[in-house]
Structure formats: structure tokens, C-alpha cells
Amino acid sequence: MTELQEYRRKRDFSKTREPAPDAAVASERRSLFVVQLHHASRRHFDFRLQVGDVLKSWAVPKGPSYDPEVKRLAVEVEDHPVAYATFEGDIEHGYGKGHVDQFDLGVWTTEGDAEAQIQKGHLRFELFGKRLKGGWHLVRSGRKERQPAWFLIKAKDAFAGDVEADDLLDKKMIASTKAAAKTPATRAAARKSTARKKAIPRGTKKIPRARLTKIAAGLDGARKAKASNDFFKPELARLRDTAPAGDDWLHEVKWDGYRILTAIADGEVKLWSRNALPWNDKLPDIVQALELLGLQSAQLDGELVALDAQGRSDFNALQKTLSGEMQSPLVYMLFDMPYFEGFDLSRVALLDRKDLLQQLTAHAPRHLAFSTHAIGNGEQAFKMASEQQLEGIICKRVQSTYHPGRGDDWIKVKRLESDEFAVVGYTPPKGSRSGFGSLLLARPDPDTSSGWIYAGRVGSGFSDEQLRALSKTMDEKGSTKPTVALAGVDPLLRNARWIKPTAVAEVYYRGIGNQNLLRQPSLKTMRTDKSPADLLDSDRAIGKTRSKATKKAAKAKPRGDVTRSADITISHPDRVVFAEGSITKQDVVDYYTAVMKWFLPGVIDRPTSVIRCPEGAGKACFFQKHLMQGLKHVGSAKLKEESGAQAVYIYPLDASSIIELVQFGVLEFHPWGSTVENPDKANRVVFDLDPGDNVAWERVVAAARLVRKLLTQLGLESFLRTTGGKGLHVVVPLNPGCPWPMVKGFAQAFASTLAQAHPLDFVATATKSQRNGKIYVDYLRNSRGATSVASYSLRARAGAPVAVPLRWSELGKLKSGHDFDIHSTPKRLARLRSDPWKGIDDVKQNLDNVMKRLA
């Protein structure tokens, strides 16, 4: 069933005013949340979060509460179309009949993958509405209900208080509540909604405005001036190759985002882009954060960014968040303040302006941040920025004033990357230019029919001689049909001419932008010594576009050089990742290095979700399955998701991939049961035996033996693994593999049959209330896109346990599913003479005959 089929099934759109599933909505907008007060047969609040192209929806009978101690029941209902976010009025027919008021509408954010969090049963998020603000939780309940039950809970933050949804109703909603009151209970609810009114908690500490205003008034160069929230022209930087020397300069990070200017007058905040476009509607979260400062007048200058786990600006995440594809939290990095509370500070020295700004932001909401700086030693500042893979640095004269336009007081020094690409076409020239406008570039990609995928256009950096030579070779050649796969639609390619890959261009660029296209490319040189075939055969291509034969070899067993990793710098190696035992990030790197030859066969060339814990296992961790900016040694594959949309998934190529991911904060690895080469066919079936409360370990051991026995009776050989948690995995290899629908059907039938035959010992449903005293046979890991923990993967749990493959003969010696940890596992492997799973890839078995027997 597709995401909106249930919504369609329940409604007759010839009779209801509700929007149809295909109703048009505005594009290029942030992910929305909406709360609607619904006077149906039972009055309730509908809570909806936009995830992708739908509104995930919950019915909250009593409405949201600002009290973190109050858990409000939220019953999951069918997904709604995004157009439903603006629906108000009467539903006059059938399902949901009654009046609908819009209680709140805004944007929402979350750290990590929203869908993965929902699937896991705990979504942490922030709301930016008129009535609902701050952090919240949706936690799946173990209660047995007709529909999945969750709890909506307010996070313990500065917005928390004793405010209820009914305290925030306006006159229109109160009137609707009274009009809909037909029973004693609804009339009581109507009386309650008008009984008391409370304000939303402020949400931040009070800013010491008076003290800061006094400081501003005393700064050398400060002048009294009238406030305005109109657009003001920003100061701009000149591009230079090197950073200036001396203590007359300070150096800031060059944030990779959008320049945003803030003008406040009479307490009203207005956001402007650098080209004078209003941005309040795009950034309600930033407007709200600025309003919480409580300023009457100011001008602020900064960069809007989305930050990755390492605190680096991620331009891809920013673009996707602004277009609704992601829900990353946004941060306004503030670096200047030319006006403050009635005083023009544009003639005040930069260092004084920044000092005042730093004091202002000391207690600001987390969506506002101060862009720190270092004074002097510009060469070292740029070197550090390059080592951390930042875009570059901005160098500013310490004593400079603030003036609009480009001058010599601000200098930007950018980190350049370069790579080689095949030339696959050209665009027509414009203006006085002759020959061509730009060259079209492509990179190797084995997942496309042509073997190449479009990487972007380069139109600068050519000498006159190169223009003449290239124009002569391409004149009137090519066709209008692309010869490579396109990552997206580029209107500038309408008149392009496409040719087969014939030449190689080495190009400078400043990172990868949206749709994985090069940002700000310029020609370095034409590599006349190389051909496109060399790119396919190069080390880079071997890493990301290996032949099928090479991939099969990778899956068979660890190769000699695959366990050697590139020289990857580990930042913060002394950071404690597991508090118990004081296990550091370097210890995690050393562990994966030690077990690499055992670990790699289970993850290499498989789409892999990872669990990242940037601040350690005891703090916030999140799933990551899509490609993220900054990864250089990890493979990427465009795969179709269950929704039908395509996304770029990551997968390990070799040891360098693993160590790089650990550098990015990864602790756990969860691969698919199929490979990127053949994602539609499973070569693993995993039965996860997950004991509920009050289940002795001896019963888990007996359950694993029973599962093995039943699989043997079906003619299937199986293998055993601890999970690093409470249970065990029984793993069935498939060779040459089976389609996912068959595998999922078999796994479900096996689990259900086991539960029916042994109802006191097993359960095949995930409902926690049914699992007490029983073992849950989790078959849901056996569908396209589902994952299981990898053999020898760490778990982000106390004590750093490890998922470890075993011989069946070792099962009786186990004391728990987390017997092995980061310390004992390498010692175990050093003692082993052979792999406990030796021969798993040589087992020839499929489900075809098994399914016939079960039919």
C-alpha cells in the first residue's frame, strides 16, 4: 500500500472538501508541521509532521502539553497529503465529519534521519510555530491499541512549563469548541478551554540589554542613529590565494551557507538575503531565535548554515532542508553587528564590535551562534581549516570599520580541491565568446548504463589557445541526447551538445553542491596524457566503480590490500566515547583496525546504515544511511526506496571506508542483506531472537537451537551470531540469492509458524505488551532496505559490546548476547585457527524449493 492509499480509501473526494492526495503544494519550502483542532465525534488535536511528500499524522485527544512530566497519548493515523497543512473548515461527509481549525503551523527540524527515528520508535524534534515551540519527543508506546499508540512529550528545555493546548486557543477556536459541544463531556471541555489563559514560556535567559547598550554607547566611533529594519548593504570580501600575515588581522571560519542580514526596529525582526530579498518566511526558526533576544533595534550580519556532526557547515544539508528534503537544524552564525540599540557601530573597530556581539550571544538560543576568530598567524589558520576540510577562512583587519561593498579589509582564502573528469559535451557560447560556453563533465559510475554520470559544467579557466583548440575538435559534433546519466534537471543544458567521453579535464572546484554537482569549477588543465579509460582504471575508479569481477572478489573474502586503510587523520583521538572503561575514539579506531580482515566481508559492497555518536555513546546518536558531505573513501550508490524515490546510499569499499566513517563518529554498522550490485536480491536471511522481560538466557539458547533444527528440516544451513545486546541472530545464507518479496514472505511465515506452534515461548509481533516472558522472532529485518548489525560491529551501549559470529558448538558456553566487547573480541580472534563462519559464502541454497514445500 502506497503512503496515501489509506487516506484515499477513507474519503469520497466528490463529497469532502479535504484536499486530494495529488493536490498541488508550493515547492521549495521547508518541512512543515501543523496542528489542527478537530471537532469530530470526539474532540481532539491532529498533530502532523511533513516527512518527504506526506504528513505523518497522530491524533492527540487532549492536545500537546508544555509540561515534560505529562505524556499525551498520540494515536498514529494514516498519512495525509502535504496540502492538508492549510486545510480548515467543515468536513461534512463520512470519515472525520466535523469542524477543523488550524491550531498552529510552522516548520520543524530534527538531528538525523526522521524516518529512521520513527521506524525505531523515538523521534526527537523541534517545533517553530506561533504556539508550539522548543524540543519535543514522540515515543512509541507498548500499549495494545487498534492503531499504533505513541506519546507526545515536551522536552525539558527553556520553553517547558505548565501550559496546555487549551490555554492557547484563540476566540475562533473557542467559538468552534462551544458550537461543537453536544454532550456533557464536550460542554465541560468547552468551559475548560475558556477558564484560564497562560503565556508560552519565554524560552531563553534574559539578555542584559541595558548593560550592553551602555557598553555600545562608550565605544570609540559609536554614534546615535535612527533604527530601521530595511535592507542594508553588506561588506564583502576579496578573494586571495594566501592569508595575510601579522596581528593586524583576525581570521574566522568561512562558513559554507547563505549570507543573511538582520535588521530590527521597534522589536520587529526582518531577515534579508545579500541581494535584498526578504527571508522571514523561509526562516521562522531563526526569526523566533532573534525575537527571543528581546532587542528593540539592531543590525546583525552572519551566515545561515547547517552543521554536520563535526561542527562543519554542510551546504548540501542546508539546501535540502530549505527545499523540504531534510529537516536539519539550522544555525545563524553571527560575525558582525554594525548597529545596536540606537547606536550606529559601523565606525567602531571590528574587534570591539565582535566583543559586544559575543556578549550578546552568550545566552542566545542554540540557533544563534557567535563566529569565533583567532588573531594573527593566518597561514596556520588556513592550514587548520584545510586539515578540517572547511571551505576556507575569512581574514579581516582588526581595526577596520564596517562599510558596504567589496574592499581590502575583508579577504577570503578558499581551499581548492581538484579532480579529473571526462569531457562529455559542451554548451553553446554566449556574448562575444566563440566556440563553446562550457564543457560538460562526467565521473565514472558503474550503476548507470553508460558507466558515467554527469558531474557539472566548467566554463572558466581556459586560455585563448585552449578555447581555439577545443572549439576546433568539437565544432558541430555531438547530439542533443545525453550520453551519460543525469543527476538532475539543469535548464542550461537544453541546448547542450553531447559527445562520447573522449578527453580528460582536470578541474578545480570548491566542494560538491546539490545533486552532487561541482561547485564553482574552473579548469586547471586538459590532461592530454590521459583518456577517459584511464579514469575507469584509476585507483579512484577502482574504489568507486570496480568491475563486477572485482566486486565478487571483494565479497568472497578479504583481499590482501583491502584491509589496509589510507592515512586518515583522526580528530579528537582522546575524546571518551564509552564512559564505562574510558574508551576513546582512538581505541575505537584501533579496534576496527585489529578486526578488519574479519569485519570487512560482512559489510563490503553492501548498502550500510551506520549509527553515529559524535559526542559519545552516552549522548545523542542517530542513524545515517545517505551520503554525507566530506566522505572521500566511502562508496555511494543511487538506490530506489520503498516509496519509489531514489536516494544515494553509502557503502564500504575497503578498510579506508571504515576508518573514515569512525572518524565521522560511527560506532555501529548495519548492512543490507544484499549488495549494491544486486540490491533486489537478498543473500542473507536474519532471524533476530529478542527476549522480552523475564526470559532466562537458557531459553534464548534453546530457542536458537530450535530455530536451527527447524531450518535444517527445511534443508537450510544456518549460522549463529551474538547481537551485542540481549539476544542472538540465526543467519541463513542464500546463494545465488532470492528476490526480497520471497525472502520477506518466508521469514514472516517461519516466524508466525514458530509462534503458533510454541505460543508460550515465542511471539511474532513487535508489540511490547505481548513480549513479556516470550522471545520475539523479529523477521522484519528481511525486506529491501532493512538492516541487521554487522558481524564484529561495536554496539553503542555501555561497555562497548560487540556482535560476534560463533560456531554452533560454542552456544552452550555463552552467558549472554553481550559476552564479547571491544577488549575481548580481538583476543578471541587472535586465538582462533579458523573463521567460525568458514564456508558461509560457499553454501549453495535458495528458498525456491522451501517456499513450494510451505505453500
DSSP string, 558-624: --TTTTPPP----SSTT-EEETTTTEEHHHHHHHHHHTHHHHGGGTTTS-EEEEE-TT-TTS--EEE
DSSP 686-718: EEEEEE-TT--HHHHHHHHHHHHHHHHHTT---
The upper half-sphere exposure of residue 580, i.e. CA atoms within 13 Å in the direction of its Cβ, equals 11
Which stretch of DSSP H or E encloses residue 116? helix 114-120
Distance CA 608, CA 663 (A): 16
- B/e letters for 644-659, b = 16+ CB within 10 Å, e = fewer, are eeeeebbbbbbbbbbb
For 2, other C-beta atoms within 10 Å of its C-beta total 13
Q: Which three cell numbers stand for residue 528?
A: 592530454
Asked if 840 and 712 count as a contact pair (C-beta separation under 8 A), the reply is no
Q: How many CA atoms lie within 13 A of 210 on its CB side?
A: 1
User: Grid coordinates in use for 158?
Assistant: 527553556
Q: How far apart are CA 357 and CA 353, in angstroms?
A: 6
User: What are the b/e assignments for 373-410, b being 16+ CB within 10 Å?
Assistant: beebbbeebbeebbeeebbbbbbbbbebbbbeeeeebb
Q: In whole angstroms, how far apart are CA 121 and each of 33, 668, 789?
A: 19, 18, 18
Cα–Cα distances (Å) from 527 to 438, 441, 504, 523, in that order, read: 17, 13, 5, 11
Query: Strand locations in 655-814, DSSP E?
Result: 666-671, 681-691, 719-722, 728-739, 762-763, 775-778, 805-806
Nearest to 173 by CA among 131, 126, 208: 131
Give dist(CA 96, CA 354) in Å, integer. Answer: 55
What is the DSSP secondary structure assignment for residue 245, as one 8-state letter?
Answer: P
Report the SS3 class of residue 227: coil
Rounded Cα gap, residues 84 and 10, in angstroms: 15
Give, rounded to a whole angstrom, the gap between the first and last alpha carbons of the chain: 24
- Residue identified by cell 580481538 is 826
Residue 306 CB neighbour total at 10 angstroms: 24
Phi first, then psi: give them for residue 847, nearest 5 degrees.
Answer: -100, 0
Rounded to whole angstroms, the Cα distance separating 575 from 664 reads 13
Single-letter residue type at 574: D
Residue with cell 498520540: 74
- Grid coordinates given for 839: 564456508
**Region for residue 431 given its phi and psi (left: phi exceeds 0; alpha: psi -120 to 50; beta: otherwise):** left
At 709, list the grid cell.
533444527
Q: CB 484: neighbour CB atoms within 10 A?
A: 24
Neighbours of 26 (CB within 10 A): 9
Rounded to whole angstroms, how far apart are CA atoms 652 and 636? Answer: 9
The three-point CA angle 128-198-182 to 5° equals 95
- Among the listed residues 547, 556, 562, the one whose alpha carbon sits nearest the alpha carbon of residue 446: 547
Instruction: Please tell me whether the peptide bond between 64 and the residue prior to it is cis, using omega within 30 degrees of 0.
Output: no
Catalytic residue ranges: 254
How is residue 236 written as a grid cell? 564583502
